[in-house]
């Protein structure tokens, strides 16, 4: 998709965990980047200005997902948009409809409407495995692929509001594309780990930090689906640049049980407070990233992701 004339792109929620790596990658590939942030003076965006080529090729815009005009100002003149911004709760949400569903769905539609008005060539929307895998009616033993969607009613009845927000937002995005002809590609990452660029810890990194220091008496030996944040950024750029990219893509690199993950970490970092025991769980779902791999995507070793994550957390003062 990117040509000499198509190298100005917008990244929503630019200061966030995954979005920061997308900005970094785009700058390294000589893109001109517009980034949306909640506050221009926010210290949470300081790391963006330190990125290589940021001083000449990065421009930040104050924008809110629920404020159409602010989004349009950032998107106008861009050939591509990476819609990464979406609320991810790290604690219980008292009012999920207002705090999660509305920003996710209305925010996504505002971005897409602005893209349509600005004649954007392609939009890459970051969804989540959460929009794929919460489907109790999917046949047992069948690998979940891009044809599988989380069941919205099941999400509601189980109070799985984050899954519902991602499912609603992604399905609305693809429906909008169908109705308007806007070129929209969605990418559904699993649990995203890897080094931090931003100063504030994010929800997915907390999963790993808690495994190391929480000292659980017992933890379910669940299957974890992990992907490196740097590989997610590469997947999003592939989805933008490859003309043949279409529809949705699951972005998952490694499947590993919680006990095996803890053992792997303990062998290199023995001093942390690991779970004392693990309880077995029923047979679990399986996912496939075959469609994304066919597009040319590859991933780094899990050991690299884990060690780079932990060294990053130490540097940030999140781990001893």
Q: Which residues are catalytic?
A: 166
Strands of 106-243, DSSP E: 122-126, 184-189, 191-193, 219-220, 223-228
Query: How do strand 254-257 and strand 223-228 relate by DSSP bridges?
Result: antiparallel
Query: Alpha-carbon distance 41 to 236, whole Å?
Result: 27
Task: For residue 227, give the nearest of 187, 194, 203 by alpha carbon.
Answer: 194
* Number of CB atoms found within 10 A of residue 241's CB: 18
Query: Alpha-carbon distance 248 to 88, whole Å?
Result: 20
Query: Alpha-carbon distance 116 to 289, whole Å?
Result: 29
Cβ contacts of 202 within 8 Å, gap of 6 or more: 16, 17, 88, 90, 196
Query: Alpha-carbon distance 295 to 177, whole Å?
Result: 21
Cβ contacts of 30 within 8 Å, gap of 6 or more: 7, 53, 57
């Amino acid at each position: 998709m990117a040509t000499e004339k198509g190298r100005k792109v917008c990244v929503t929620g630019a200061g966030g965990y995954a979005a920061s790596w997308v900005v970094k990658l785009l700058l390294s590939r000589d893109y001109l980047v517009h980034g949306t942030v909640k506050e221009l003076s926010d210290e949470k965006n300081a790391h963006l200005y330190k990125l290589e080529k940021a001083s000449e090729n990065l421009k930040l815009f104050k924008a809110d997902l629920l404020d159409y005009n602010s989004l349009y100002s950032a998107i106008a003149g861009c050939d591509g948009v990476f819609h990464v911004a979406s609320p991810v709760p790290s604690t219980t949400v008292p009012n999920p409809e207002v705090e999660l569903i509305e920003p996710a769905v209305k925010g996504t539609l505002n971005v897409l409407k602005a893209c349509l008005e600005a004649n954007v060539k392609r939009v890459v929307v970051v969804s989540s495995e959460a929009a794929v895998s919460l489907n109790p009616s999917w046949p047992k033993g069948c690998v979940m692929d891009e044809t599988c969607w989380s069941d919205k009613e099941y999400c509601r009845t189980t109070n799985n509001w984050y899954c519902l927000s991602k499912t609603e937002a992604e399905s609305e995005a693809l429906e909008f594309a169908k109705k308007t002809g806007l070129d929209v590609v969605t990418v559904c990452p699993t649990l995203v780990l890897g080094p931090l660029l931003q100063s504030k810890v994010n929800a997915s990194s907390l999963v790993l930090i808690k495994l190391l220091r929480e000292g659980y008496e017992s933890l379910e030996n669940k299957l974890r689906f992990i992907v490196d944040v740097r590989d997610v950024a590469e997947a999003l750029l592939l989805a933008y640049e490859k003309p043949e990219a279409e529809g949705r893509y699951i972005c998952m690199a490694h499947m590993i049980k919680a006990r095996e993950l803890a053992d792997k970490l303990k062998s290199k970092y023995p001093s942390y407070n690991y779970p004392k025991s693990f309880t077995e769980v029923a047979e679990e779902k399986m996912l496939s990233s075959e469609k994304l791999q066919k597009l040319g995507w590859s991933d780094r070793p899990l050991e690299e992701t884990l060690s780079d994550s932990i060294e990053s957390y130490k540097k940030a003062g999140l781990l001893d």
